[in-house]
Structure 1
């Protein structure tokens, strides 16, 4: 066990060493030395611990010298062993709750992302093509968002009026008549200091940060804006009751609001801004259940590819261009996420050399799914570190002409699907394509609401397993993280193994018209 190594909720490992109580006054009052190792691989992070330990001990030695030189030295009563043990147990409990909060936030983010296109459609006055349950949840979320926005606008207007009144009062020499908000606490607030600090460390997407900002503002609007160390558990419980009393909110919505608040307060507790996360135990049991995504059957796939887009060369009027033809095929044969496909750049489609089973040098066409930035004003977005991957193209895609299509694009420095435009807070390129696909699959006779574009990934996994592709290789193709510590050892599957695996993938009975 590496006692100084600790894993944060975002997967990054930290070096953490406690500072003796008598040295804390000489180290800015901190209780521990905490440094990010910038690594998500435990073994690699462990290798840095010896050097970090030396550095930390040097800092402690300097603090001891500062203590000896101080006149008089501060007198700090040592903590009793029982208190130290309580603090150790509290720290372990905090870490466990942080992990739970991270899981809840991930689930909440995924649901918010899934409802995003439906909310956008409702906001634009377009009837979304989704299940009644999804439309109802999205409508409630839209109502809540508009209500919160109205509240924020009201607060901004009030602040503007107060500022103008104060200015006039000062100009008239009546300072004592100015209306001022009372300054309570240390002036560290959820919607500014805590949010900015959390976002700087966790680096969420623009949509993610905006969601947390709106939740912080919502809490302030319901409970009053106060410095974070003055927020009590009673405040959080009252906030929960008000959320539940709002008929426009579902159980899932209330759960998400509490989870976002818990995350911000947990970060504040970890940074010693507050002594404890008062929202840690405030949760709601959710009995609502959403529809589980289903695979496409072979009949579904044949109906899709017999539709006007693939069989007749028709293209919708939305300006999506060839994306509507190639994106379903890439998702079915590569198992990639919708946005990963939509944001591909021409430079991401390239040949990669490898050594085959006969020790001969070969090359294979690949797609490079990455968040590596370039000169484009819109950087690529991926879900997590495991989503960065170079994977070989399925031979069927090459046979259908994908490489020829890419090579003929007028702008060889741009994106593979230039017709896609970023929309919404999260600047997603494929949200509109997702809405189009929901309508198109119904036109092709697929009425099941649990079958959506994301179902291509489920379908790929099913046929990959049927083809005997190992789980480790499946995860590499789909950009999934390992499930346990054993998955952290060893490099990713070799290109030789990946090429053989994708060549074995097939969908029995599938018929795709020639372009």
Structure 2
């Protein structure tokens, strides 16, 4: 079934690895079953087992069941199997029905947490180039996450080819989670004030193509961006003492709240973040023009000062002279 599923189109290595892991888990849980004899009750029992033994949250269970369901779905469509035990599964049954905040759900950053992250004592206290993909990846990726709401992997893949200056500075997400993820995002004016366009020009002048030249993973089926994700999450949890329910992806949640609080229309911030809409009419046309999105995104303001990142020198070592010449303050 796995081989058959892989024949339709090119699958991402990480997705194949996840599928292999799930198949092994299901096979171990149901050692006397074949795909043709797996029932809906078996699927339910396996998902419950995942919850009880691995502590999986409802969203994780839904992700696992949906991925396994995709494998069975291909076989059913081509009449290899008669039924898909994961089809139309009701994952809401695993959601706690009473209003209890367990503190485990992923949260947006608070204003106080953001101020600490982007302070001389936070991210800007680490000037060495080693760790997390280097100084500039550790600084600019969180800043881009805050002011665009883009996913870490989307930002980690950025190259010079993703940036355009006409009709205004913006970048294109050319590869994403789904079709709605492919979009154009204007740069927030504060990113420009902090020197991001200067950083892009410095990357170009150094002969680099990737925006984060030191962001590289050694894992075969891992994304380069995971290097920054692990470093950032470790930094805010261990160094800053933040709870486990905030991680890099919390920037995406934070951006959505910033848009709501700035009264940016829902369909506009959906377009900015690559979220799909349930309204059929929203799928017609090309969406908002970049100029309109730029006008909307300017409404987002923060009540604290963000230091200006050090310039890119093309070296893995940030010199004392460069650091002294660029104090940590917004000009």
Q: TM-score, normalised by structure 2?
A: 0.77
Displacement, 1:421? 0.8
Are 2:212 and 1:417 aligned?
A: yes
Inter-partner Cα distance in structure 2 for 1:206 and 1:383: 14
2:107 and 2:194 map into 1 onto residues whose CA distance is 26
Query: Any conservation in 2 of the 1:223–1:239 contact (CA below 8 Å)?
Result: no
1:62-82 alpha-carbon deviations (Å, 9 max, x no partner): xxxxxxxxxxxxxxxxxxxxx
> How far apart in 1 are the matches of 2:56 and 2:143?
37
| 1:407 to partner: Cα distance | 0.9
Instruction: Specify the alignment match of 1:191 in structure 2.
Output: 2
For residues 374-389 of structure 1, what are the structure 2 equivalents within 5 Å?
382-389=176-183
User: Could you say what secondary structure the match of 2:184 adopts?
Assistant: strand
- 2:43 and 2:86 in contact (8 A); partners too: no
Equivalent residues of 1:319, 1:420 under 8 A apart: yes
Q: Report whether the alignment pairs 1:396 with 2:190.
A: yes
Residue 367 in 1 paired to residue 171 in 2? Answer: yes
Alpha-carbon deviation of 1:494?
0.7
- Confirm or deny: 8 A CA contact 1:292 1:450 kept in the other structure: yes
Count of matched residue positions in the alignment of Structure 1 and Structure 2: 297
Is the contact between residue 368 and residue 389 of structure 1 (CA under 8 Å) also seen in structure 2? yes
2:225 is aligned with 1:430: yes
Q: Determine if the alignment matches structure 1 residue 513 to structure 2 residue 323.
A: no
Contact 1:309 1:325 in 2 (8 A): no
Contact 1:191 1:217 in 2 (8 A): no
| Superposed displacement of residue 214, structure 1 | 3.3
Larger Rg: 1
Q: Tell me, yes or no, if the aligned pair for 2:146 and 2:254 is still in contact at 8 Å.
A: yes
- From 128, 145, 153, give the equivalent of 1:315: 128
Alpha-carbon offset, residue 342 of structure 1: 1.5
Tell me the equivalent position of 1:296.
Answer: 109
Shift of 1:384: 1.0
Judged with a 3 Å threshold, the aligned counterparts in structure 2 of structure 1 residues 425 and 471 are, in CA distance, closer, same or farther, namely: farther
| 2: CA distance, partners of 1:273 / 1:292 | 39
Q: Deviations over 1:231-282 (max 9, x none)?
A: 2246x74576577678744465777665544332222112222333355488
Residues 309/191 of structure 1: CA separation in 2 closer, same or farther (3 Å cut): same
The 1-side partners of 2:252 and 2:64 are apart by 29
Equivalent-residue separation in structure 1 for 2:63 and 2:253 (angstroms)? 26
- Which position in structure 2 is the counterpart of 1:80? none
**Residue number among 474, 480, 491 corresponding to 2:269 in the alignment:** 474
Tell me which of 128, 139, 143 is aligned to 1:325. Answer: 139
Rate the CA distance shift 1:450–1:491 in 2: closer, same or farther, 3 A: same
- Please tell me whether the aligned partners of residues 338 and 454 of structure 1 are also in contact (alpha carbons under 8 angstroms): yes
Matched, 1:270 2:80: no
Q: Secondary structure at the match of 1:504?
A: coil
Residues 438-453 of structure 1 correspond to what in structure 2 (within 5 A)? 438-442=233-237, 445-453=240-248
Deviation per residue, 1:82-124 (Å, 9 max, x gap): xxxxxxxxxxxxxxxxxxxxxxxxxxxxxxxxxxxxxxxxxxx
Distance 1:367 1:255 in 2: 32
Please list every run of 5 or more consecutive structure 1 residues that lacks an aligned counterpart in the other structure.
1-189, 354-363, 372-381
Alignment check: 8 A CA contact 2:132 2:215 kept: yes
Alpha-carbon distance in 2 for matches of 1:241, 1:323: 43
Q: Cα gap change, 1:423/1:280 in structure 2, threshold over 3 Å: closer, same or farther?
A: same
Which position in structure 2 is the counterpart of 1:464? 259
Q: Does the CA-based 8 Å contact 2:22-2:64 persist in structure 1?
A: yes
Looking at structure 2, the residues matched to 287 and 295 of structure 1 have their Cα atoms a distance apart, in angstroms, of 20
TM-score where L is the length of structure 1: 0.51
Distance 1:309 1:303, change over 3 A: closer
Task: Choose between structure 1 and 2 for higher RCO, CA contacts under 8 A separated by at least 6 residues.
Answer: 2
Runs (5+) with no aligned partner, structure 2? 97-101, 310-331
Of 232, 249, 260, the match for 2:37: 232
CA contact (8 A) 1:307 1:444 kept: no
Question: Any idea what SS the aligned residue of 1:275 has?
Answer: coil
- Report what 2:156 is aligned to: 342
Q: Return the offset for 1:476.
A: 1.6
Q: Can you list the C-alpha shifts for 1:334-358, whole angstroms capped at 9, x where unaligned?
A: 22111111211022222112xxxxx
- Name the counterpart of 1:78: none
The offset of 1:474, in angstroms, is 0.6
Task: Identify the match of residue 21 of structure 2 among 202, 214, 225.
Answer: 214
